């Protein structure tokens, strides 16, 4: 079975190998969640700072290694980098099973951040290298869907494993075995391409680069990057990531204030991630229906979701709010990846462009609680509702910006997609 790419075809096994990388990119920090409340018992001398380092360090290390991976992808064999990243990731999962103290956990978490950081841009970069046009957008949507449904499934598994020995939840970090096994098909496809399609690939790459250069003649280009495009896409992703992460940081306190149970919190959070997953598999349909209004309507859906989360102490409203917030973000996410790849005039720089955008995403997630704390102090409002109301107002203002700039690169949709 051959899969259309817009440049030719690839085998089904190669496509599965590309998809399999997305199984692990959203998992760092997940396994530690069910034992956070037990750490002071497991390790009596554990400080609050050490506990925080377990969740902060992997995300901090992901940022520089995302950038390093993007830079290495320009001159090194991408499949070799993928295999190395997966091996580091898998090694961290194995070492977790033998950890005996807090220092072990912290050091292994650093290793996990390195492996995941190296892999993240290539999980998307392999798609942008392989697919073009509407095929690329479709595959980026599926990639986003796989990553998020993997997170939902892994969360359920970790919750179940967390009832036993505290080492068991770390078994989730053995999932890289799957993409490692599939990586054989990436190498096989690469060799086949080199042996049979070198001339065609060279001509296609030249045509893509020529077309890109012609399109960008009126824009500022530096180092093969269209500066205005990559900056606008990075800003777009930073804002959306910051706006929706409140559901992870502040929803537990909000629902606790509503006197709701932890199971209610788990359901609402799961609905949020489920809603991010859904658009990935129907993204072409969504874009064909919404056309040039795709970005605006997605922004308004996220605004509506934030508003419903503070509309009242009602589980149904909270669930609908989480679904709207997640669905809007699930539509935007693969579009951002696609626009990042379109921000360069040299196809070899696409993975580097993705690494810049992804680094901004992790940066926004890392500093979001510090930013919100600052905003709360400025406003003199420590209410549990404040983060949601504040981001709702920001999202409405951003919707106006989207409407006024709907014809600019960051917000318009390529007509080839519909």
Q: How do residues 354-385 score in pLDDT, each as one tens digit?
A: 999 999 988 998 888 889 989 999 988 888 89
**Residue 259 clears pLDDT 70, i.e. is over it:** yes
User: Any idea which residue has 């692990």 for tokens?
Assistant: 24
Residue 245 phi, psi (nearest 5): -70, -15
At residue 219, the 3 state secondary structure works out as coil
CATH superfamily name and code, 218-418: MFS general substrate transporter like domains (1.20.1250.20)
pLDDT tens for each residue of 288-345: 999 999 999 999 999 999 999 988 778 899 999 999 999 999 999 999 999 999 999 8
At residue 5, the 3 state secondary structure works out as coil
Residues of the chain with CATH 1.20.1250.20: 1-196, 218-418
CATH superfamily name and code, 1-196: MFS general substrate transporter like domains (1.20.1250.20)
Count of Cβ atoms closer than 10 Å to residue 4 Cβ = 12
pTM metric for this prediction = 0.84
Q: What was the pLDDT predicted at 217?
A: 55
pLDDT higher at 209 or 351:
351
pLDDT higher at 238 or 417:
238
CB 106 within 8 A of CB 54: yes
User: pLDDT tier at 36 (50, 70, 90 boundaries)?
Assistant: low
pLDDT tens for each residue of 84-135: 999 999 999 999 999 988 889 889 999 999 999 999 999 989 998 889 888 8
Q: What was the pLDDT predicted at 324?
A: 96
Q: What was the pLDDT predicted at 204?
A: 41
**What is the Cα–Cα distance from 114 to 93, expressed in whole angstroms?**
13
pLDDT tens for each residue of 47-66: 767 777 777 788 788 899 99
pLDDT tens for each residue of 166-199: 888 888 899 999 999 998 888 765 544 444 344 4
pLDDT tens for each residue of 292-305: 999 999 999 999 99
Q: What was the pLDDT predicted at 292?
A: 92
Percent of the chain with pLDDT over 70: 90
DSSP class per residue in 163-197: TS-TTGGGGGGGTTHHHHHHHHHHHHHHHHHHHH-
pLDDT tens for each residue of 390-409: 999 999 999 999 999 999 99
By C-alpha distance, which of 378, 68, 25 is closest to 176?
Answer: 25
Q: Which of 45-54, 199-208, 215-224 has the highest mean pLDDT?
A: 45-54
**Residue 211 clears pLDDT 90, i.e. is over it:** no
Specify the DSSP class assigned to residue 15: H
Q: Please provide the average confidence, as pLDDT, over all residues in the chain.
A: 85
Q: What was the pLDDT predicted at 178?
A: 94
User: pLDDT tier at 230 (50, 70, 90 boundaries)?
Assistant: very high
Percent of the chain with pLDDT over 90: 40
Q: What was the pLDDT predicted at 87?
A: 96
159 contacts: CB under 8 Å, gap ≥ 6: 34, 266
pLDDT higher at 42 or 271:
271
Q: Count the alpha carbons within 13 Å of 151 in the hemisphere toward its beta carbon.
A: 23
CB 392 within 8 A of CB 243: no
């Amino acid at each position: 079975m051959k899969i259309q790419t817009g440049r030719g075809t690839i085998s089904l096994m190669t496509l599965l190998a590309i998809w399999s990388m997305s199984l692990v990119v959203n998992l760092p920090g997940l396994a530690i969640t069910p034992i956070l409340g037990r750490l002071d018992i497991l390790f009596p001398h554990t400080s609050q700072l050490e506990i925080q380092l377990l969740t902060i360090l992997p995300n901090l290390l992901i940022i520089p290694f995302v950038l390093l991976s993007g830079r290495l992808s320009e001159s090194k064999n991408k499949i070799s980098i993928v295999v190395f990243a997966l091996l580091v990731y898998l090694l961290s999962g194995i070492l977790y099973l033998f950890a005996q103290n807090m220092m072990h956990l912290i050091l292994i978490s650093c290793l996990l951040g390195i492996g995941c950081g190296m892999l993240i841009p290539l999980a998307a970069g392999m798609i942008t290298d392989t697919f073009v046009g509407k095929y690329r957008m479709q595959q980026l949507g599926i990639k986003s869907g796989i990553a998020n449904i993997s997170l939902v499934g892994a969360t359920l598994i970790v919750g179940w494993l967390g009832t036993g020995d505290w080492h068991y939840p770390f078994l989730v970090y053995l999932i890289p075995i799957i993409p490692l096994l599939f990586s054989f098909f990436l190498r096989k496809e690469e060799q086949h391409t080199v042996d049979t399609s070198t001339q065609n690939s060279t001509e296609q790459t030249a045509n893509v680069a020529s077309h890109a250069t012609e399109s960008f003649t009126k824009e500022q280009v530096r180092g093969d990057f269209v500066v205005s495009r990559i900056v606008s896409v990075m800003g777009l992703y930073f804002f959306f990531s910051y706006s929706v992460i409140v559901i992870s940081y502040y929803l537990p306190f909000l629902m606790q204030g509503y006197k709701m149970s932890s199971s209610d919190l788990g359901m609402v959070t799961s609905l949020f991630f489920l809603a991010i997953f859904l658009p990935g598999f129907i993204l072409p349909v969504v874009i064909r229906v919404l056309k040039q209004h795709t970005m605006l309507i997605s922004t308004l859906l996220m605004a509506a979701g934030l508003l419903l989360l503070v509309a009242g102490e009602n589980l149904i409203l909270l669930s609908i709010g989480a679904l709207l917030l997640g669905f809007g973000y699930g539509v935007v996410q693969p579009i951002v990846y696609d626009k990042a790849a379109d921000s360069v005039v040299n196809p070899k720089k696409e993975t580097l462009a993705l690494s810049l955008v992804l680094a901004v995403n992790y940066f926004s997630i890392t500093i979001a609680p510090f930013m919100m704390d600052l905003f709360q102090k400025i406003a003199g409002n420590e209410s549990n509702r404040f983060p949601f109301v504040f981001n709702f107002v920001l999202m409405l203002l951003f919707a106006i910006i989207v409407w006024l700039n709907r014809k600019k690169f960051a917000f318009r949709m390529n007509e080839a997609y519909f």
